[in-house]
Structure 1
Amino acid sequence: MYDDIFKTYPLLTTMSKLRAARFTASERLGKKYRWHSIALVVFSIYAIALTIAPNFFTNIDESIKSILSYASVVSSVFVVALSMYLAFSEDIVRGKYLHDNAKQVTNLYQELKTRSILQKTKPKVKINIVDYESRYARIMDSCPYNHDILDYEFSMMTNEGADSCKSFGIKFRMSMDKYAWPLVAIIAPPIVLMICIAINLNMN
Structure 2
Amino acid sequence: MNVIDTTIQAAYIQGVLGFLGALIGAIVLIISIRITARNTLNAHKLEKLAEAKRDMYVELVGEWHKYINIIYSYKLKEEQDFYDDLLKAHLDLNAILHKSSFISIPEIKLELIEAVTSLSIKFQKIVPLTSYWFIYNQDASNEMRKKKMDVELEILRTMRSTAEKFLNLEIALRKELGVKNDLSIEAKIRKLSIRNAELAERCIEQQTS
Both proteins in one fold, TM over 0.5 = no
Q: Which has the higher contact order (CA 8 A, sep 6+)?
A: 1
What TM-score do you get using the length of structure 2 for normalisation?
0.31
Select the structure of larger CA radius of gyration: 2
What TM-score do you get using the length of structure 1 for normalisation?
0.32
